[in-house]
Chain A
Amino acid sequence: MPCPDYAKRWFAARAWKPFPFQRAVWRALSRGQSGLLHASTGAGKTYALWFGALNAWAKPRPAASDKRRPAMAPLTVLWITPMRALAADTLRALQVPVDELDLGWSLGLRTGDTNSAERARQTRRLPTVLVTTPESLCLMLAREQAQVELASLRLVVVDEWHELLGNKRGVQVQLALARLRRWQPQLITWGISATLGNLDHAQQALMPEGIRVQGANDKTLKVDTLLPASVERFPWAGHLGLRMLEAVVEQVEASHSCLLFTNTRAQSETWYQALLQARPDWAGLIALHHGSLAREVREWVELALKQGQLKAVVCTSSLDLGVDFLPVERVLQIGSAKGVARLIQRAGRSGHAPGRPSRVTLVPTHSLELVEAAAAEQAVAARRIEPRVSPQQPLDVLVQHLVTLALGGGFRPDDALAEVRGAWAYATLGEGAWQWALAFIRHGGLSLLAYPDYRRVEPDEHGVWRVPDARLGRRHRLNIGTIVSDAALNVKFWSKGGGGKSLGSIEEGFIARLRPGELFLFGGRTLELVRVEQMTAYVKRSSGKKPAVPRWNGGRMPLSNELAEAVVEQFEAAARGDYHSAPLRAAKPLLQVQQAWSALPGRNRLLLEQLKSREGWHLFLYPFAGRLVHVGLASLLAWRLSQRAPASFSMSVNDYGLELLSPSAVNWQAALDGGLLSPANLVHDVLASLNAGELAQRRFREIARIAGLVFAGYPGAQKSTRQVQASSSLFFQVFRQYDTGNLLLSQAEHEVLSQELDVVRLAHTLEHIHGGALDLRVIGRPTPLAFPLLVERMRESLSSEKLADRIARMVGDLERAAGPAA
């Protein structure tokens, strides 16, 4: 081959030997093939694609003439990464060989953080390689000259595709690729993905055809569990696991550098504080990292970690992804990891140097999590990894994309439909939904009269759809993206005569409940609220006791199906008397009480427990289907029961099961015999059971934002997103009343069913229950499985009575609370 082999030269210079998978990718790229590289973390995957690209297209740096800098090659490679933080690191990694081999390629970064000077430079001439995020790519597509500017593109690499696949950002990538492929049919696409349960789907969603390359073998992964000295037989999750503090301190002490993963930001704040209290001498050696901290703070922590200056970092999923921290020796997972993939991902953050094993230690926060730990050890060993599935036909993303196309040179509907169907998520997009989307961006709805005076996109005299109003174009560009954040306030130190240092952001709802002078914990400090002004909470340091711990809304992830199944298998093992694993042995006292008072759950037998207490008639059931499904199931069951006889139920759910409580007598056995758990009419009953569409209304907030119904505001002149929030619920009501055919409403309903309630898993659960046996036990007092449900009760009352009665009863509640009238 006449082409230079940069890979060979560079690897030889370092006396490195390429892995077979790297050679495979280089070969494929030289033939112009697309593909999916399935590899765990490590730099090898980056070089697999990078040298493939260099070998295929790079030329030596041209000699500089006197007057001008040498002209570098035009845009050739787009490198898409899910995180801005990752983008800068990727750029650095790509830059090294280009400099050393003295190649004529320029590299650039384009993310939300890119400054305006750099953006202007890129507008004049794009670099040869652009590292960017899905949102920034969509912004480029919204430029009038997008097709010309992107004409020389040869390769798109989508890094960490597993992180994008399952959400709307991934759908944006699919649509962007469809656009690029239409302009450039020869375009090569490569995805890089960690292990998933469904790699075929991951590949299909990214490219019409391509090869699959398996990366280097997974490194050794060690999972163990920190066992408590004693086991509580009636567990509850109220103390965030601080009982294990002493043991954790010992582990941190013994290791050079470690990461402590928690599941929530509140939990990370609490643990960081507790560690510092236990070991004041660790001040400066341990740090806190979560998504609400200021970027500078997070970057400082990341850098210090990389340089090996930190003994431990307490973090949340904010460090799941991102740059590699070589010095990290081990990972501790506080509480349930909720999923096998997530646990493996987190474990992979340790032992990054070649040949070193990754090690994760599970820290159960209550004794039922010992059983879960036993299950997680087993599931990781067996690599039972969860699948991820691309959303299907989200119309809000389509509507946003169509406006992007209209701005990016305009579109003709027929061509655009063919193009959009080229994206996996819309492959089967029906004519009806398509026509609705077109009508929606043109008139607001299918009926011409529906939205008088409204127009966002219109065909010009040549039939090309464009955005006629430059103002609307500007607004659309600011609105691009599918990440809808909660209303957040900046947290800054108060200083007279000017803003102090920024600490991060905090949810508006939390601050709203605090009065000036009150204390809260944030970023590892105790802070006193001084005042709230213009979307900023000003604070000062405080040494007071009893600060409030902020609650951030956010991912309360449900236990994954894979992990849940593994948990049930552990219960079955215990039922057989097979206490093979250490954590299960530790949980034995609890399991024995459960077995003696009731029974242990099993795969093909649903355990139910009925209890009569002073509170009323309880039913506990343990489908082990995760929190989301249990929420849906609980409201479904309460609704079905109240159809038989008017009644109100309190409900409580966790990842293992749920509780229904009625103040009046219920014959549970009769209800079960009468088809309470039947899979029939599931969707109808679930929809009917949803409290007046409240869930759909919450979902609509995100959809309204993405589809451009509400506007998050101009940067700088930011109005509180709470106002947008209020108006999105207002929009929801107006749409429901005056435009019931609006497909965005159906989308909200669909997303509630599929994402908030996971109706597919719910259906699967009911089918499974239906196919197995019911095991209803009468218990005299709460069992170890029932107890956490009792304690952590989230009362969601549901009634079959009419709204007016509901108001009357609520007023009645207030009457009683107000005491007897004077």
Chain B
Amino acid sequence: MNPWLAVSVAGAELWLLAEKAVYWPAERVLLVADAHFGKAAVYRALGQPVPHGTTATNLAVLDTLLARHCCEELIFLGDFLHGRAAQGSASLDALLAWRHSQPHLRMTLIRGNHDQRAGDPPAALRMAVVDEPLLRGPLALRHEPASHPTHHVLAGHLHPVYLLRGAGRQRLRLPCFQLGRQVTLLPAFGAFTGGFAVTRKPGVQLVLASAQGVWALP
């Protein structure tokens, strides 16, 4: 089983991680799309009970990844906070506490559609906040998967999942990376996010992410 799969995207070597993130060794960057921090808090504010724990899970996974890979920067490809109600919630307190444990890490957020509504994260999180696209080497980092005239795009937004069907009526829904000619999509990182089912198309490579590892579909 592979905890990650190294692929070459527009000449850059990227590691697609089973934890639904991308590590870029040459740049020492960890890339995460659609974390949706505070989504549970937003639901609770609307009167829908969601148990707590999703934020802690997200942060624990980030800790694991930062410890395993040599990272200087963490870039969020949009949808960092889920909604306005996430500001000032218990989830944000947890985020702030976590930020203190990572004093040397640079953090960048590329604003996504949810961030427009939620507003920028508080200054105490010490994040650089930019609009898309953020050009880095051969890649254009964005939230929404629109192509770029000169650069290969790395984006999120869609929360791609793939429905595996096996013999009998076995079905398994797994988040996936979607590698196209011009755009590469990351799965949603957040523990409390849904998914958009994608299908296989010629010229598009799907890589499934599960707790057991990553799997490239033929």
Interface residues of A, Cβ cutoff 8 Å to B:
440, 444-445, 449-454, 456, 469, 471-472, 475, 648, 650, 691, 694, 708-711, 726-727, 730-731, 734-735, 737-739, 742, 794-798, 803-804, 806-811, 813-815, 818, 821
Chain A: CB-nearest residue to B44: A454
B218-A811 in contact (CB<8A): yes
A711-B48 in contact (CB<8A): yes
Q: Which of A691, A810, A821 has the most CB of B within 10 A?
A: A810
How many whole Å from B39's CB to the nearest CB in chain A? 10
Please indicate the chain B residues that have their CB under 8 angstroms from the CB of A709 in the complex.
48-49
Q: B53 at the A/B interface (Cβ < 8 Å)? A: yes
Please indicate the chain A residues that have their CB under 8 angstroms from the CB of B199 in the complex.
none
Contact sample, A vs B, 10 pairs, CB 8 Å cutoff: A444-B44, A453-B85, A453-B89, A453-B90, A726-B194, A794-B169, A796-B168, A807-B212, A807-B215, A813-B166
How many whole Å from A62's CB to the nearest CB in chain B? 47
Given contacts A453-B89, A810-B170, whether A738 and B44 have CB atoms under 8 Å apart is no
How many whole Å from B103's CB to the nearest CB in chain A? 26
A739-B51 in contact (CB<8A): yes
A742-B164 in contact (CB<8A): no
Given contacts A440-B49, A796-B168, A807-B172, whether A814 and B192 have CB atoms under 8 Å apart is no
Given contacts A452-B89, A453-B90, A738-B53, whether A806 and B166 have CB atoms under 8 Å apart is yes
Please indicate the chain A residues that have their CB under 8 angstroms from the CB of B1 in the complex.
804
Chain A: CB-nearest residue to B165: A810
Q: B210 at the A/B interface (Cβ < 8 Å)? A: yes
In chain B, residues 204-218, which have Cβ atoms closer than 8 Å to a Cβ of chain A?
208, 210, 212-213, 215, 217-218
Q: B7 at the A/B interface (Cβ < 8 Å)? A: no
Interface residues of B, Cβ cutoff 8 Å to A:
1, 40-41, 44-45, 47-54, 57, 85, 89-90, 164-172, 174, 191-195, 208, 210, 212-213, 215, 217-218
B51-A797 in contact (CB<8A): no
Please indicate the chain B residues that have their CB under 8 angstroms from the CB of A815 in the complex.
218
B166-A809 in contact (CB<8A): yes
Please indicate the chain B residues that have their CB under 8 angstroms from the CB of A797 in the complex.
166-170
A804-B164 in contact (CB<8A): no
The CA-CA distance from A710 to B194 in the complex, in Å, is 14
How many whole Å from B145's CB to the nearest CB in chain A? 20
The CA-CA distance from A27 to B170 in the complex, in Å, is 62
Please indicate the chain A residues that have their CB under 8 angstroms from the CB of B49 in the complex.
440, 444-445, 451, 454, 456, 709
* The one of B51, B164, B166, B168 that contacts A451, using a Cβ cutoff of 8 Å: B51
Please indicate the chain A residues that have their CB under 8 angstroms from the CB of B194 in the complex.
726-727, 730
A475-B47 in contact (CB<8A): yes
* The one of A694, A738, A806, A818 that contacts B54, using a Cβ cutoff of 8 Å: A738
Chain B: CB-nearest residue to A403: B47
A452-B52 in contact (CB<8A): yes
Please indicate the chain A residues that have their CB under 8 angstroms from the CB of B90 in the complex.
452-453
How many whole Å from B44's CB to the nearest CB in chain A? 4
Please indicate the chain B residues that have their CB under 8 angstroms from the CB of A735 in the complex.
51
Please indicate the chain B residues that have their CB under 8 angstroms from the CB of A711 in the complex.
48
Please indicate the chain A residues that have their CB under 8 angstroms from the CB of B47 in the complex.
454, 456, 469, 471-472, 475, 708
Q: Which of B49, B50, B52, B169 has the most CB of A within 10 A?
A: B49
The CA-CA distance from A451 to B50 in the complex, in Å, is 6
A795-B169 in contact (CB<8A): yes
The CA-CA distance from A806 to B49 in the complex, in Å, is 34
B45-A453 in contact (CB<8A): yes
Given contacts A453-B89, A456-B47, whether A806 and B52 have CB atoms under 8 Å apart is no
Please indicate the chain B residues that have their CB under 8 angstroms from the CB of A445 in the complex.
49, 51
* The one of B51, B89, B174, B215 that contacts A738, using a Cβ cutoff of 8 Å: B51
Please indicate the chain B residues that have their CB under 8 angstroms from the CB of A742 in the complex.
51
The CA-CA distance from A708 to B44 in the complex, in Å, is 12
The CA-CA distance from A453 to B176 in the complex, in Å, is 32
Chain A: CB-nearest residue to B47: A472
A807-B44 in contact (CB<8A): no
Q: Which of B1, B50, B54 has the most CB of A within 10 A?
A: B50
Please indicate the chain A residues that have their CB under 8 angstroms from the CB of B174 in the complex.
807
B51-A804 in contact (CB<8A): no
A444-B215 in contact (CB<8A): no
B192-A730 in contact (CB<8A): yes
Return the 9 tightest CB-CB contacts between A and B, nearest first.
A797-B168, A444-B49, A739-B51, A738-B53, A454-B44, A810-B166, A738-B51, A804-B212, A452-B90
Please indicate the chain B residues that have their CB under 8 angstroms from the CB of A451 in the complex.
44, 49-52
A738-B52 in contact (CB<8A): yes
The CA-CA distance from A452 to B90 in the complex, in Å, is 7
Chain A: CB-nearest residue to B93: A452
How many whole Å from B204's CB to the nearest CB in chain A? 14
Please indicate the chain B residues that have their CB under 8 angstroms from the CB of A808 in the complex.
215
Chain A: CB-nearest residue to B169: A796
Given contacts A453-B90, A726-B194, A738-B53, whether A810 and B44 have CB atoms under 8 Å apart is no
Given contacts A453-B45, A807-B215, A815-B218, whether A734 and B54 have CB atoms under 8 Å apart is yes
A734-B172 in contact (CB<8A): no
The CA-CA distance from A142 to B131 in the complex, in Å, is 48
Please indicate the chain B residues that have their CB under 8 angstroms from the CB of A806 in the complex.
166, 170, 172
B50-A734 in contact (CB<8A): yes
Q: Which of B51, B193, B212, B218 has the most CB of A within 10 A?
A: B51
